[in-house]
Amino acid sequence: MEFSQYQTNALLSITNRPPLVFTEGQGMWMTDHTGKRYLDYLQGWAVNCLGHAPQCIQDALAMQAKRLINPSPAFYNAPSIELATLLVENSCFDRVFFASSGAEANEGAIKLARKWGKKNKNSRGVDRYEIITFDHSFHGRTLATMSASGKAGWDTIFAPQVPGFFKAELNSLDSVAKLITDKTVAVMLEPVQGEGGVLPATREFMQALRALTKKHDLLLIVDEVQTGMGRTGELFAYQLSDVAPDIMTLGKGIGGGVPLAAMLCREEVACFEPGDQGGTYNGNPLMTAVGVAVANALLQPGFLQSVKDKGEYMRAELLKLCDRHGLQGERGEGLLRALKLGKDIGPKIVETARDMGPVGLLLNSPRPDLLRFMPALNVTQEEIDQMVSMLSDVLKRLGH
């Protein structure tokens, strides 16, 4: 297949894509229209937690597609109940609302917090609706989740914003405390800021934030769309700091590649009434059957420990790479890691790694001075070694 056949296409341009069409994926590898193979450290943007096309997802899709695809969200279906049970049995939450994207799950969390703030008014009898979020955070691309996000420039591109979001500084309790008013209802954060550059909230900060939110009767919302489902070596990243949030959102890894997301909350907070929240595709059995297969794979004894071990291994290998090439360092949790380059060479590395032959390497540079790694959680040690060695070649080629 020639790329020119695809060159004129009807897709709305929303991002600069390289002139490649990907046709197949297996495990950590993906193949383009010319047959060239790539070691894939994007994995659908931290989505394919079991790699490309894992057998358990193929089986779940095939089996469920034959049985029942969508009875409508007005009726119960078995896979959604099964997945909700798995999620509450393995977390501090009691109730689950399924959605199709991380942004939609976060919208649900924002709506639930605002509803709760109407029911739990302040001492003057006024509704509470303000939510404190963080600089450099990313919560999605709907209008409300863009307003909640702390990305530079996002406050003006589609102005006016959805009001009610105020930005604090990650790991600064003081910056949060200063923003609390008698209309504040919640604090929302990513336990590790993913798109912002793999910036972890510290354990001390998470614990202090939980104490502060309790003291002011505020909800603590964790956006675990990127950090959830084993990515950090715990099933959920809030577990790294031993806190129990009130609301959590999941996306990306929960579907292992298919569109599935969730909003979980504690019973005390579950205040939606019929009509408040819904969605045509929410909790459909085709996607939730995949969710069950993925969750069962992640819950196999030893699986999460292997994520921790491989995260440690990758950390050590990246530090050696830093020494060899004079780079700044690395950070992250589990298999969500970043390499600090110390100079703005990220985009050039991404391009060179992808375009080199005979085998390419797919990487992400969320900021010009940073590379982010989001491998499948079942990546092998050999695939880590191969990535580090390919990256070392690229750095040499670029004269670093």
Q: How many CB atoms lie within 10 A of CB 190?
A: 26
Question: Shortest Cβ distance from residue 67 to ligand PLP (Å)?
Answer: 26
Q: Is 170 helix (H, G, I), strand (E, B) or coil?
A: coil
CB under 6 A: which stretch of 51-59, 95-103, 322-330, 389-397 binds ligand PLP? 95-103
Q: Is 240 in the site for ligand PLP (CB under 6 A)?
A: no
Going by DSSP bridges, is the β-strand pair 37-40/29-32 parallel, antiparallel, or unpaired?
Answer: antiparallel
Among 27, 102, 191, 291, binds ligand PLP (CB under 6 A): 102
Element (H, E) at 362: strand 359-362
CA distances from 381 to 41, 42, 138, 306, 390 (A): 13, 17, 30, 11, 14
| 3-state DSSP assignment of residue 131 | strand
The structure tokens listed for 389 are 């060695």
127 backbone dihedrals φ, ψ, rounded to 5°: -60, 145
C-beta of 320: minimal distance to ligand PLP in Å? 28
Q: Which is nearer to ligand PLP, 257 or 360 (CB)?
A: 257
d(CA 152, CA 121): 32
Type of residue at 35: G
| Using rule CB under 6 A, residue 101 touches ligand PLP | yes
- Are 98 and 288 in contact by the 8 Å Cβ rule? The answer is yes
> Is residue 367 close enough to count as binding ligand PLP by CB under 6 A?
no
> Is the CB of 138 or the CB of 165 nearer to ligand PLP?
138
Total site size for ligand PLP, rule CB under 6 A: 15
Alpha helices, H only, the chain? 4-7, 43-46, 55-67, 78-89, 102-119, 143-148, 173-177, 203-215, 285-298, 303-325, 346-355, 381-397
Minimum CB distance to ligand PLP, residue 106 (Å) = 6
DSSP 323-343: HHHT--EEEEETTEEEEE-SS
Q: Which stretch binds ligand PLP (CB under 6 A): 62-70, 108-116, 135-143, 199-207?
A: 135-143
Closest CA to 262 of 281, 241, 243: 281
Least gap, CB of 187 to ligand PLP (angstroms): 15
What x/- string results for residues 172 through 191 when contact with ligand PLP is judged by CB under 6 A? ------------------x-
226 in contact with ligand PLP (CB under 6 A):
yes
Q: Rule CB under 6 A: choose which of 44, 194, 200, 334 binds ligand PLP.
A: 194
Q: Are 376 and 51 in contact (CB under 8 A)?
A: yes
- Strands 370-373 vs 336-340: parallel, antiparallel or unpaired: antiparallel
- Return the number of other C-beta atoms located less than 10 Å from residue 183's C-beta: 15
Closest-by-Cβ residue to ligand PLP is: 102
Q: Residue 107, interface with ligand PLP (CB under 6 A)?
A: no
- Looking only at the bridges linking them, the beta strands covering 219-224 and 95-99 are unpaired
Q: Scanning residues 251 to 280, which ones bind ligand PLP (CB under 6 A)?
A: 251-252
Least distance in angstroms from the C-beta of 105 to ligand PLP? 8
C-beta separation of 387 from 338 below 8 A: no
* Lookup: tokens for 166: 């105020």
Does 138 engage in binding with ligand PLP (CB under 6 A)?
A: yes
CB 145 within 8 A of CB 202: no
DSSP 15: S
Q: Please say which residue, 22 or 45, places its beta carbon nearer to ligand PLP.
A: 45
Instruction: Assess 223 for contact with ligand PLP (CB under 6 A).
Output: yes
Please, what is the minimum distance in Å from the beta carbon of residue 381 to ligand PLP? 26
103 touches ligand PLP (CB under 6 A): yes
Please, which residue, 262 or 390, has the CB nearer to ligand PLP?
262
Question: Considering beta carbons, is residue 153 or 301 the nearer one to ligand PLP?
Answer: 153
Q: Does 231 bind ligand PLP (CB under 6 A)?
A: no
Binding segment for ligand PLP (CB under 6 A), chosen from 102-110, 123-131, 321-329, 366-374, is 102-110
Select 164 or 194, whichever has its Cβ closest to ligand PLP. Answer: 194
- Rank residues 190 and 383 by Cβ distance to ligand PLP and give the closer one: 190
Nearest residue (CB) to ligand PLP, 164 versus 191? 191
> Residue numbers of the site for ligand PLP (CB under 6 A)?
101-103, 106, 138-140, 190, 194-195, 223, 225-226, 251-252
